[in-house]
Chains A and B, each alone.
Chain A
Amino acid sequence: MELLIGQMFAGLSLGSVLLLAALGLSLTFGQMGVINMAHGEVMMAGAYTAFVVQRAISDAGISLLVSIPAGFLVGGVLGLVLEAVLLRRMYHRPLDTLLVTFGVALILQQAARDIFGAPSVDVRAPDWLQGNIELLGAPIPLTRLFILGLSLVCLAGLVLLLKATPLGRRIRAVVLNRDLAETIGVSTRRSDQLTFFIGSGLAGVAGVAVTLIGSTSPYLGTNYIVDAFLVVVAGGIGQIKGAVIAAFSLGVLQSVFEYSTTASIGKVLILIVIVVFLQLRPQGIFSLKTRSLA
């Protein structure tokens, strides 16, 4: 029982990290079909933001709370610049964006190495996140609980924005049918910029969150980018609810597989599950239904 709860929580917690990493990607990928390989590096920028903020504010608790909005801003602005300078010129050329953003990812990694050095840096977790609480005998780490909560807050915020604001309505209109949206007067340009800002901002927040559990190094992004793409692809492009289901299913499956076999075999099994799933359902859990003709 104790183990079951421990493992269930491990799965949910892994799922929440995957969800945080994939939420922003789901948005940019879904709206604009941009395969942003630099998404992981935007996370890294968020993580280093947490490091810089902590250097300025030595109290780990306050610095964490400041880091979350700061990480969102840094990530978002980075995304805006990327969009304005490069991606704007290559919409509808997915393979080009893939290569360009991969190049950007390498540049950002090298920049991080030059600024902060190659060794990983230490971002301390605040005292109130040290340790764990017991749930029926199973230790639930507080950092994990915090990340789970943060991912749910981000999710709720994003859903609220998309469903309940005029801004979100415009974004959804563009996702559904870009040409038609443009015809009825939606500025797709503005909408694209905004989407990229929010999507990259969420990556920045994800970066802040993972400093609590892992290392903060120039390679941070490469550890998450593949999993983030897997979540988005399995969930269905541009489908937030698909991403949520995919992230938590993959998280729980991974922890089940890993517990019953080993970490390496668990990873292999997960990939097999995804490959088989996509064979049966290439469009992901949910697919975008549009009346678009092309």
Chain B
Amino acid sequence: MRVSVHKRAFLPLAAAAVATVLAGCGSQIADPTSGSSAASTGTSCVDTSGNSIKVGFINSLSGTMAISESTVFDSLTLAAEEINASGGVLGKQLQVVSEDGASEPTKFAERAGKLIQQDCTAAVFGGWTSSSRKAMLPVFEANDALLFYPVQYEGLESSKNIFYTGATTNQQIIPALDYLAEQGTKSLFLVGSDYVFPRTANKIIQAYAAAKGIEILGEEYTPLGSTDFSTIVNKVRDSKADAVFNTLNGDSNVAFFRQYKSVGLTADTMPVVSVSIAEEEVPGVGLDNVQGQLTAWDYYQTLDTPANKKFVAAFKAKFGAERVTSDPMEAAYTSLHLWKAMVEKAGSFEVDKVQAAADGVTFEAPEGLVTVDGENNHITKTPRIGKINSEGLIDTVWSSPEAVEPDPFLATYDWAKDLAK
């Protein structure tokens, strides 16, 4: 019946071990080659004979990323409906095949393979985390298919099979630093989640700071999902930095901002610039905690462009007046329209023809006119610094005078020449 002391001691240890493994199973690292195991056929199975054409959406509709990625799925759905209502692409109606990436990179790779090989879609749209993109990249290259990736990311990547419609670093992070420098910021404290994007972003910030004479007073990382920031906010407060650059992801932001505020730090005394908090995230973090803080994106719901007014109105009409639109949603919406423009310019759904036609294709996006750069498959974007207002929306406080050319490898920046190696 009862176990001896030694056995009793074993069980809890086993429990703790299992608990650790189970709790960590949402964040496993993918084998980048998995999912591409099915041999590349070289010939596409896309059926262009009927009056419809299949496109694939791949988003996490379950798991920890569902919170963000389901919003991208919604805006892709809106874009597909708009395109169908206006006559489709080359006269063919879009037929959407949707797959759930389930917040796991391996699942993304596997499902992407299915969308290409079994469903024979002409192009695939989606992905959010860098690990999901990195897992899908070999699948799209091996099958010579097209992925449109709609989220800002850490740069230093370019594939002829991926079109990046979110910002690369010189369209988000560097403009944010320029803005801070312009405001007279002399010292910064860096806080981020411990994974590839924040680490790469902070490497770029360190190089920039070294070149421009900004002092970095601290660089702190916390495990994803971390909820205790009392030590970090003590360090931040103690550093007396002019501003904080925040690359935390997900729920950690809630704990960070609450505890930041509770030791008496405010947007007036020490502003925080965040690169992962958009309109969607503000209510979860708590408006009280982030009002007045700064964000760096290329799109805000409050932008006063005709294309944005139409986008916001259409989105609210379809999904409800209480819903908001954010940068990744806008980039996803734009990506589908850009693909349509590329296909129509090429006059064909074939991947190599679309790739050849891509350079210089433009779309009047909600954020302003965007142009595809055929050399690196990124697009021009207009960086904007925003301030979170009392309604939880974001007001633009600074905007780049013109759209910025994408430079994923930071080749045009002297101080960054060691980074791309």
Q: Is there an interface contact between B254 and A222, defined as CB atoms closer than 8 Å?
A: no
Q: Are A143 and B262 in contact (CB under 8 A)?
A: yes
C-alpha gap A32/B306 in the complex (Å): 65
Inter-chain contact A215/B227, CB cutoff 8 Å: yes
Residue numbers in B under 8 Å from A225 (CB-CB): 19, 23
User: Which secondary structure characterizes the binding site on chain B?
Assistant: helix
Q: How far is the CA of A132 from the CA of B234 in the complex (A)?
A: 13
CB <8 Å contact, A122 and B285: yes
The reply on A153 being an interface residue by CB < 8 A is no
B14 contacts across to A, CB distance below 8 A = 95
Known interface pairs A92-B1, A226-B19, A226-B20; A10-B262 also in contact (CB < 8 Å): no
User: What is the 8 Å Cβ interface bit string for chain B, positions 1-15, against chain A (1 contact, 0 not)?
Assistant: 111111011111111
Contact check: which of A35, A141, A282 meets B9 at CB < 8 Å?
Answer: A282
Q: Which residue of B lies closest to A256 (CB)?
A: B231
- Among A17-49, those with CB < 8 Å from B are 17, 29, 33, 35, 37
**B1 / chain A contacts, CB cutoff of 8 Å:** 92, 178-179, 294
Residues on A with beta carbons closer than 8 Å to the beta carbon of B22 = 37, 102
A94 to chain B, nearest CB (A): 5
Most A C-beta atoms less than 10 A away, residue of B228, B238, B287: B228
A213-B255, A294-B1 given; A118·B12 CB < 8 A? no
Complex interface bits, B138-158 against A, C-beta within 8 A gives 1, otherwise 0: 000000000000000000000
Interface residues of B, count at CB 8 A: 59
Spot the interface stretch: B64-72, B109-117, B408-416: B64-72
**A288 vs B6: C-alpha distance when bound (angstroms):** 11
Q: Is B284 an interface residue (CB 8 A)?
A: yes
Chain B residue at minimal CB-CB distance from A265: B221
Question: Is A258 touching B231 in the complex (CB atoms < 8 A)?
Answer: yes
- The A contact surface, by secondary structure, is helix
Give B284's nearest chain A residue, CB to CB: A120
Asked if B284 contacts A222 (CB within 8 A), the reply is no
Bound CA–CA A120/B261 (angstroms): 19
B231:A259 contact, CB within 8 angstroms:
yes
Which residues of chain B come closer than 8 Å to A3, judged between CB atoms? Answer: 234, 238
- A236 to chain B minimum Cβ distance, whole angstroms, is 9
Is there a chain B Cβ closer than 8 Å to A205's Cβ?
no
Is A226 within 8 A of B11, CB to CB?
no
Contact indicator B225/A222 (Cβ below 8 Å): yes
Cβ-defined contact, A229 with B263, below 8 A: no
Please report the number of residue pairs spanning A and B whose Cβ atoms sit closer than 8 angstroms.
177
The count of residues in chain A whose C-beta lies closer than 8 Å to any C-beta of chain B is 70
With A139-B237, A237-B8, A294-B2 as known contacts, state yes or no: A98 contacts B258, CB within 8 Å: no
Q: How close is A160's CB to chain B, nearest CB, in angstroms?
A: 26
Which of B3, B226, B281 is A263 in contact with, Cβ under 8 Å? B226
Q: In the complex, are the beta carbons of A263 and B255 less than 8 A apart?
A: no
- Tell me if A233 and B3 are in contact (CB < 8 A): no
- Name the contact of B11 in the complex, choosing from A35, A118, A119 (C-beta under 8 A): A35
Q: How far is the CB of A140 from chain B (nearest CB, A)?
A: 9
Q: Please pick, from B2, B16, B230, the residue contacting A292 in the complex, using a CB distance under 8 A.
A: B2
Docked Cα-Cα span, A219 to B62, in Å, equals: 12
Question: Which residues on A sit within 8 Å (CB–CB) of B81?
Answer: none
Question: Scoring B residues 216 to 253 as 1 if CB is less than 8 Å from chain A, else 0, what string do you get?
Answer: 00001111011110111011011000000000000101
Q: List residues 199-235 of chain A with CB under 8 A from any CB of chain B.
A: 210, 212-215, 217, 219, 222-226, 229-230, 232-233
Q: B18 interface residue, CB < 8 Å from A? A: yes
Contacts of B281 in A (CB 8 A): 119
A84 close to B (CB within 8 Å): no
Is B47 in the interface zone, CB < 8 Å from A? no
* B227:A124 contact, CB within 8 angstroms: no
Closest A residue to B222 using CB positions: A263
How many angstroms between the C-alpha atoms of A223 and B19 in the bound complex? Answer: 11
Q: A249-294: which residues lie under 8 A (CB-CB) from chain B?
A: 254-255, 258-259, 262-264, 266-267, 278, 282-284, 287-288, 290, 292, 294
Which residues of chain B have C-beta atoms less than 8 A from A108's C-beta? none
Chain A residues near B237 (CB-CB < 8 A) = 139
Closest B residue to A29 by CB, please name it: B12
- Given known A-B contacts A226-B19, A229-B15, A144 and B230 have beta carbons under 8 A apart: yes
Asked whether, in the complex, the Cβ of A267 is within 8 Å of the Cβ of B223, the reply is yes
Residues of B near A233 (CB, < 8 A) are 12-13, 15-16
Residue among B231, B259, B288 with max Cβ neighbours from chain A (10 Å): B231
Top 9 A-B pairs, shortest CB-CB distance: A215-B254, A141-B262, A10-B230, A120-B284, A282-B9, A215-B251, A214-B227, A214-B255, A263-B222
Q: Spell out A's residues near B (CB within 8 Å).
A: 3, 6-7, 9-10, 13-14, 17, 29, 33, 35, 37, 92, 94-95, 98, 102, 113, 118-122, 124-125, 130-132, 139, 141-144, 178-179, 210, 212-215, 217, 219, 222-226, 229-230, 232-233, 237, 254-255, 258-259, 262-264, 266-267, 278, 282-284, 287-288, 290, 292, 294
7 A-B pairs with C-beta separation under 8 A: A35-B12, A118-B66, A120-B284, A139-B262, A214-B227, A226-B16, A282-B9
Sample of 6 more A-B contacts, CB < 8 Å, known A6-B238, A131-B262, A229-B15: A37-B15, A119-B67, A130-B261, A132-B263, A210-B227, A263-B221
